[in-house]
Structure 1
């Protein structure tokens, strides 16, 4: 085959709205899918993308070019998951139709972010963006705002943090604690922004967690335990910081002592959570008779880091009388810091030694 016309539906509107499974191959299949999508949602731009691809296909066939049209669809969770699905679909199609080149068809910049993925697998001769011409009334500000807010991707981005802020503020006003409203709003909006920033990573781990649950792997239990430990550790650290803050105030202790107190009270809970997560991977590897060294080695370095942070925070707390200096003397804090460095070095060296063993085995097996 000479040319492949590639249409992209990155957020899988075909599957969610028209119940059409991708990939779509051939002119008839694409036209049928476009009609179903237009019937389900006449305003979806992916319909025009497919029809635009069909027009390009017809033009190529009229010129005697051996061409075919395909449509690739991703996932509602735009990012790593959707891009991996599109890449897998393209790999399968290229095995069936080893085309010399392709024409990339999209409805905007969002779909065109997949262009490097497609170009890594085949040569792209042209990129076509299908833009729908609208009447003056449809281009009015009211129409644009209305349909933008009806889009789940836009409405979730703007409405969720505003709604959380309004609910938190109303709750703290109800209990007559206005100062807590500011803290609660900042915490909620901050968590939401972190989730949006790491949404691809969160979605990826969520998919792995579901996969481990349905396949009966140990990682489901250990991941859930690790998440619970992280939550408990965070709450313990925040309660300790809050007790210090409410007793004298941040102007008395300062930011560094409060952060030191948080790390000192949570570090081992976080370390235990990471080790639990790795333990599940190790057990699953042993059950499948796979090498588990790559999961054992990080445990050494994680515990080494834990000793360093715990020893450093213990020493800092012994320097400050209001942060625990009365319980731990300066000399005792220094001794703890020195011993923790020694233990950290021993664990790091053990991890380095363990990391060299699999390499030796691999070399012997190759010989």
Structure 2
């Protein structure tokens, strides 16, 4: 009875030599691999293959030890392993096989072997040292050697431990202390997760480049930032003087006061970007032309909805259209319903956005249907 003892090495550094067949060839492969990287777990996998073959031979079986492998994690690698298995089965005609693996990635290839020859057993090698406390020391040693990981993990943890007793003394409340530290750690995780640190590290270079190249958007971005701060301050000042405790009413009061300023900020930033595109390029993309119109349209719609909710809640009175005299035509003043005013804001927003699409299509010399399709 011939048994094929096959070691799977999906990411083999010597993929061109696979399949490696025979005890002597496998021992030579173990030596070569161990000299290159003594910590490589594939060495234990190959040694386990030799041990399994010796045990089977002691029981009276004829064994063939082989190593199949590829050069990476891809479909082509799996197909190479399948071809190598077929060659081994065709040459040695084994009645069964024992598969030796050292990782979950290699174990996923067992069905490929099983489809070519009967698999009696799968032996997964787990290095004993990985279960001991000694491995923790080496993991910590490698962790501490990585400067980026130290800054990302150890610095926030150290600051949190230092801040805990200080806040506990100042606040005299465990709940407030834990909440403050958790909030600070949450802000840090969001800061790192969204890549804000990377953006801020690039920001000085971008500002320097904008100054040297004379970009108009640099000035308009500063104006937009100032208008945004004014809008947020106006909204916060408005809700601080409101007696209502309803979060929905407070949110709408904030939007009603801050949206005009925020819209002006978005308009300033988009106009600056549009001017840069016009100055630096022969043509301009339609998205930059349409952006100012979109900012104004969104501002009108948000302002209309916030005014509608506030009027329905009784915060504002009904809007009264004043009397107007145009010599030939005279319009008497009348109150305007909240729903009618909301509809006017929505229609104005849609109209402005359509005008933006049409202007963008004209500037970019493209068809209006193409703009709508995009």
TM-score, L = length of structure 1: 0.48
Larger Rg: 2
TM-score, L = length of structure 2: 0.48
